[in-house]
Amino acid sequence: MAKPFSKLSEKLILAPMHDITNIAFRLMCKKYGAALVSTELLSANAIARENNAVMSLALSCKEEKPVACQIFSNNTENMVESAKILERKGFDSIDINFGCPSKKIMQQGGGGALLKRKNKIYEIVKEVSKSVNIPVTVKIRLGVDKKNINVLEVAKLCEEAGASAVIIHGRTVDQGYSGKADWNLIKEVKENVKIPVIGNGDVIDGKSAKEMLEEIKCDYVMIGRAAIGNPFIFKEINEYLKTGEIIKQTKEEKIKDYFEYIELAKKYNIFSVKDAKLRAQEFTKGIVGSSKLRQRLNKIRNWEEIESLIKKL
Ligand SMILES: Cc1cc2nc3c(=O)[nH]c(=O)nc-3n(C[C@H](O)[C@H](O)[C@H](O)COP(=O)(O)O)c2cc1C
């Protein structure tokens, strides 16, 4: 029996994103109204070995709850073992990645590569959901390519195997991030499964979030790229969904958020100059003078210089 997917306080969920959704960034998104946040995808094989580098990414805290940990592997035993470890570490749900198009992950037989192996998907979902007491969700794409669309079949299979909810990114693995997400196929799944469906792909503002909720009638909306450098997006969209008003941050507020992110990164020992530079570019996107800032950031080697550059913006 699937564990019920707990009802969330709001409609918006932060998408798992490699090198983006660390604990500091998740806390920022939570503060602005993300109803569920997620780690980036982590190797279940490495977690099962309790590999130090990966365990440092499988970090969570009570202020960000509820928080999901996303895992990938084609090894069922390691998926089960890692799910048990993550449950003990306090994660509220386990999300299984069956959609990642990255070559590195696909070559290991994980992520999107598994969309071709329905029996394996069934086995992994069944064994993982049996072995933990927290909900297990799956994040899938439409299929490996346009000729092999199998999202409905896979979603039903996952439901039967014990998944508590299904997250669908409306693109094929082959598509990567190109083209437009196909929401019609997500809608078809919503009409044919009983577990909650979380729609994902191309939601960038209040209008598109409202459209997705109304067109697909999905239970929740997952937001990825639009949140990069902009955790405020959750507040903006929640406000739009409630009142129809469009609220925007000032330049000063964006910069304040950047420094708040840095403070959190330091607090959780994940601060690095490389990350601070990348986030500086992301958080200041759209601010006048930010393209010049980007060029200057490329030459910088330490935090003090980044700090003074951003303060001068
Ligand atoms: C930089 C980046 C990293 C990503 N990493 C992951 C990941 O670790 N796990 C995953 O399931 N999806 C990952 N994705 C995909 C997103 O979760 C999401 O499905 C996709 O970006 C579509 O949503 P969007 O249109 O709101 O961006 C990543 C996307 C981006 C842009």
Question: What is the average per-residue pLDDT within 154-166?
Answer: 98
Residue 132 CA to residue 85 CA, distance in Å, equals 10
Tell me the two tokens of residue 21. Answer: 């959704």
Is the Cα dihedral 121, 150, 165, 221 positive or negative? positive
- Residues in contact with ligand 1 by the CB-under-6-Å rule are 15-18, 20, 40-41, 70, 97, 99-100, 139, 169, 200-203, 223-226
Q: Is residue 134 predicted with pLDDT exceeding 80?
A: yes
Q: Which ligand 1 atom sits closest to the C-alpha of 222?
A: 26
Q: CB of 267 within 8 A of CB of 295?
A: no
Cβ atoms within 10 A of the Cβ of 296, count? 11
Strand-by-strand arrangement of the 93-98 sheet: 12-14, 220-223, 197-200, 165-169, 136-141, 93-98, 67-72, 37-43
Name the closest-CA residue to atom 31, ligand 1. Answer: 225
Name the closest-CA residue to atom 26, ligand 1. Answer: 224
Q: Is residue 38 predicted with pLDDT exceeding 70?
A: yes
Find the 312 Cα to ligand 1 centroid distance in Å: 32
Beta bridge partners of 68: 38, 93
**For the chain, which residues make up each domain, given as ranges?**
12-243, 251-311
* Average pLDDT of every residue of the chain: 97
Terminal CA-CA length for the chain = 55
Give 55-82 pLDDT, tens digit per residue: 999 999 999 999 999 999 999 999 999 9
100 is catalytic: yes
What's the pLDDT at 2?
A: 79
Q: CB of 170 within 8 A of CB of 201?
A: yes
Choose the residue to mutate in 13, 182, 225, 230 for probing ligand 1, maximizing ligand atoms within 8 Å of C-beta. Answer: 225
pTM: 0.97
Q: Is residue 8 predicted with pLDDT exceeding 90?
A: yes
Q: The domain 12-243 belongs to what CATH superfamily?
A: Aldolase class I (3.20.20.70)
Q: Is residue 105 predicted with pLDDT exceeding 80?
A: yes
What's the pLDDT at 1?
A: 66
Residue 8 CA to residue 11 CA, distance in Å, equals 7
Residues in the chain: 313
Reported confidence tier of residue 292, pLDDT bands at 50, 70, 90: confident
